[in-house]
Structure 1
């Protein structure tokens, strides 16, 4: 006969509430002007991987002109983006970027 081990998990509602408040505060602060994203943040915002973003957005000739104003074009070896402008771009091109190919 198998021996079973039981665990009891106790969750402190005050702790959970504080986590929610902290995360909400962080997300609201990230919406201001001057906010920059890195590639990890862009991956998180779009639910897409680096290779897809490079091919379909960042290095896509159709978006080259727009990307000049939104990105640093990976100068210094790291992609950086103007958060609000990238957010607007993604909203504007949502259907184009998510249609089946």
Structure 2
């Protein structure tokens, strides 16, 4: 079998860098580590409104048992009027990524 060896240069724009996937994931985690989202942040991340998020993500029992801080999760569910929702950003981002097909695919 013949083999061709090629030396190739690919220019990378000055405002870009090349990093490994592992390093990229570490950077993403650092960016979200210790960060809390509000309901508005979740709305922006999902592109959905509060009522849809409650109906399709926060209150279905199979999700609530994972999400609710009182059950070991990472979402604070307000107990009384005037309290705010609070989401541990890194965990909520992971949950949305891992459950995208269930949340947006209609299979529950």
Fold shared, TM-score > 0.5 on shorter chain = yes
Separation of aligned partners in 2, 1:32 and 1:51: 25
2:96 to 69, 90, 94: 90
Separation of aligned partners in 2, 1:82 and 1:72: 9
Name stretches of at least 5 consecutive residues in structure 1 with no aligned partner: 1-27
Residue 70 of structure 1 corresponds to 74
Aligned length: 73
Query: Which consecutive segments of 4 or more residues in structure 1 shift more than 6 A?
Result: none
Deviations 1:38-72 (A, max 9, x none): 00000000001100100111111111221121111
Q: Which has the higher helix share?
A: 1
The CA RMSD measured in Å over matched residues stands at 2.0
**TM-aligned CA deviation for residue 75 of structure 1:** 4.1
How does the TM-score come out when normalised to structure 2? Answer: 0.61
Structure with greater contact order relative to length (CA < 8 Å, sep ≥ 6): 1
In the TM superposition, 1:5-84 aligns within 5 A as: 31-68=31-68, 69-75=73-79, 77-84=83-90
Separation of aligned partners in 1, 2:59 and 2:48: 15
How does the TM-score come out when normalised to structure 1? Answer: 0.65
Q: 1:99 to 1:37 in 2, by over 3 A?
A: same
**TM-aligned CA deviation for residue 36 of structure 1:** 0.2
